[in-house]
Amino acid sequence: MGKASSSKKVARAARAGSTASSSERRDFGFPLAVFVIILLGLSLVVYSRISREATSAPRVDPQDHWHSAFGVYDCSTDSFLSDPQSQDDPDGIHSHQDGLMHIHPFNSSASGKNAQLHVFLEAMGMDIDEEAITLETGESLEAGTDCDGEEAIIQVVRWDADNLELKPDVFTEDLGDVRFRKNREAFVVALAPPGAEIEFPSSMAELDRASPSVIDPTDGGASNGGASNGGASNGGADADGSEADAGGADAESEPDPGATEVPEGE
């Protein structure tokens, strides 16, 4: 009688242990499943973002062949410098000694959000930061230069060539990171005092001839006669070290860093 009772107790204890073990496995399995689902979701979000950035314009695609006017302005001589002469093209953002930037990236390091001014300047043997513009000759335009009694700063001005009635963007920091947002823009890298009026580069006139409908986007662009930046007299930018709302068609509809609002009343 005692032995039977003991056997029953052992059996009940075994069943109880088995039930507890199963319950513990179920309790552990649910949070693990939730964790896996969350991890997969995050992975998909990251992948989607990377894919979107990799395919944002300008893409590594023969159809994405943009052109933008370019010039370098020196307030100490109140003039534009000669167009860059380098024809180096390591990344697909280059020039043909024509005052234009030909933008058709060869690789992901120069496409999408990575299509930035420094890529072009490096191909031209140039550099830019808040302290100086280094030219392909090795000479430099230095911030702090006196221009008609005012201290000059280094700045980048960006216009939408198809919407010139809009105020341009003016950048005074992170200058090499200024993005190419669309076909047909104009850029001036300038040494000038805050608030100085900076004119369009004269190569703006070449943009119509250099449109993708005229130049085969697969041939790397064609030289169009070497327009020299003498400084056009079409309006210009009130470069006060800040950014105006340029509108236009930004590939990502996101503002670039380093730009703030230009006050009204030009």
Low-confidence ranges of the chain (pLDDT < 50): 47-48, 50-55, 213-235, 239-254, 257-258, 260-266
Q: For residue 167, which of 266, 253, 244, 232 has the smallest C-alpha distance? A: 244
Residue 25 token pair: 């496995």
pLDDT value of residue 36: 76
CA distance to 24, 65, 91, 208, per residue, from 120 (Å): 62, 14, 9, 21
Name the amino acid, one letter, at 235.
G
- Give pLDDT, residue 65: 92
Span 175-206, pLDDT tens digits: 999 999 999 999 999 999 999 999 999 999 99
Q: Per-domain residue ranges for the chain?
A: 1-54, 66-239
The 3-state secondary structure of the chain reads CHHHHHHHHHHHHHHHHHHHHHHHHHHHHHHHHHHHHHHHHHHHHHHHHHHHHHCCCCCCCCCCCEEEEEEEEECCCCEECCCCCCCCCCCCEECCCCCEEEECCCCHHHCHHHCEHHHHHHHCCCEECCCEEECCCCCEEECCCEECCEECEEEEEEEECCCCCCCCEEECCCHHHCECCCCCEEEEEEEECCCEEECCCHHHHHCCCCCCCCCCCCCCCCCCCCCCCCCCCCCCEEECCCECCCCCCCCCCCCCCCCCECCCCC
